[in-house]
Amino acid sequence: MRYWILLFIVFITACSNIQEVQQTKEEVDNIDKLTTRDGVKISYNYFDSDTNKGVILLHILSKNKETWNDFATKLNQQGYKIIAIDLRGHGESDLDFKDFNSNDYINMALDVEEANNFLREKGANKISIIGASIGANLALNYATQNDDIQTIILLSPGEDYRGVTTLDKISRFTKTILIISSKEDKYAFESSKKLNDLSHNSEFIKLGGDKHGTEMLDEELENKILDWLNTMFDS
């Protein structure tokens, strides 16, 4: 009889420990995550500052928010609130982009929406989006639907990345756009030229070489972007 009582106590203790582990995992999974309108949890890094200016950073396909760390720190030190997100299917966010169809990629705009909401809750009312590759396309797509975005910076945008298109959107955004591409990055560069021609108000920085998206960032380009942003926000 004593044996069965001891066995029962061991069983109850084990079940309790399993439940605690599951609860702990759920708590960890919810740390530093936003929830989009369609219920997807989005991981992010936030850099706070005592300012009303904010920047949303959107990464390249298959990369994550950490690719922005150095530049995010630099922007933050210049007086911007910064949020860098893992787009759905990437990094520590929900889902797997390898399983996505074009609608899933288009729905990444909901991730941008939630990042914008987050910055506004933190007190930012002047917000820019900087996107790289598919992140650039998403920046444009989201900004055309939201008048509260002050400006966008597109690093290596494309006419069509996984169904997220730009040529049909560019004319809808009438505020200033900065477009940056490398001449030997053929698809992005040709797309950038077309976007620049169709835009109402854009500047186009043409770089040498074939680097793509955040790979183009060096001290010189980062300083150009910072100067441009400061001018846009102060105007």
List the domain boundaries for the chain. 1-31, 34-234
Q: CA-to-CA distance for 200 and 165, rounded, in angstroms?
A: 18
**Count of C-beta atoms within a 10 Å radius of residue 87:** 29
d(CA 146, CA 47): 23
CATH level 2 (architecture), domain 34-234: 3-Layer(aba) Sandwich (3.40)
Work out the percent of the chain whose per-residue pLDDT is above 90: 84
- Per residue in 5-48, pLDDT (tens digit) is 444 444 444 444 444 434 333 333 445 799 999 999 999 999 99
Per-residue pLDDT band at 79 (split at 50, 70, 90): very high
What integer pLDDT is reported at residue 31 of this predicted model? Answer: 55
Output the pLDDT for position 235: 73
Which of the four pLDDT bands, split at 50, 70 and 90, describes residue 2? low
150-202: per-residue pLDDT in tens?
999 999 999 999 999 999 999 999 999 999 999 999 999 999 999 999 998 99
Q: What is the overall mean pLDDT for the chain?
A: 90
**Mean pLDDT, to the nearest integer, of 202-222?**
98
